[in-house]
């Protein structure tokens, strides 16, 4: 890989890291379509969580710890999906080199 390509890749990775740092406590001016998509992601995840809980709790014997882990995984999936919607709106002000 050429030095220019390596530098470009490093900049892309640095920009991606910086965008994620900005997301931690960032305030983004999100378009209505993005906000609506996030609303749908949260609603779909809630529906899935309620269905998983109901299915597991309907069984006479089940492991509450694993149910909690499954619900945590759904929460993580929701967070990643919402991040996917927010990231394109994260503005990296000063990339670190």
Q: Tell me: the pLDDT tens digits for 33-47?
A: 999 999 999 999 999
Q: Tell me: the pLDDT tens digits for 48-68?
A: 999 999 999 999 899 999 999
Q: Which two tokens stand for residue 80?
A: 């990643």
* pLDDT higher than threshold 70 for residue 95: no
Give the mean pLDDT of the chain: 85
24 contact partners, CB below 8 Å, separation of at least 6: none
Provide the pLDDT confidence category of residue 9 given band limits of 50, 70 and 90. Answer: low
Whole-number Å distance between alpha carbons of 20 and 76: 15
Q: Are 19 and 96 in contact (CB under 8 A)?
A: no
22 vs 71 pLDDT, higher one: 71
Q: What value, to the nearest 5°, has the Cα angle with vertex 31 and ends 50 and 10? A: 90
* pLDDT higher than threshold 60 for residue 71: yes
């Amino acid at each position: 890989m050429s030095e220019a390509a390596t530098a470009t890749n490093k900049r892309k990775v640095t920009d991606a890291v910086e965008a994620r740092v900005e997301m931690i406590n960032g305030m983004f001016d999100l378009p209505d379509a993005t906000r609506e998509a996030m609303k749908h992601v949260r609603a779909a995840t809630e529906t899935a969580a309620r269905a998983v809980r109901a299915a597991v709790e309907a069984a006479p014997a089940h492991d509450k710890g694993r149910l909690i882990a499954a619900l945590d995984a759904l929460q993580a999936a929701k967070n990643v999906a919402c991040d996917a919607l927010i990231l394109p709106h994260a503005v990296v002000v000063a990339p670190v080199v």
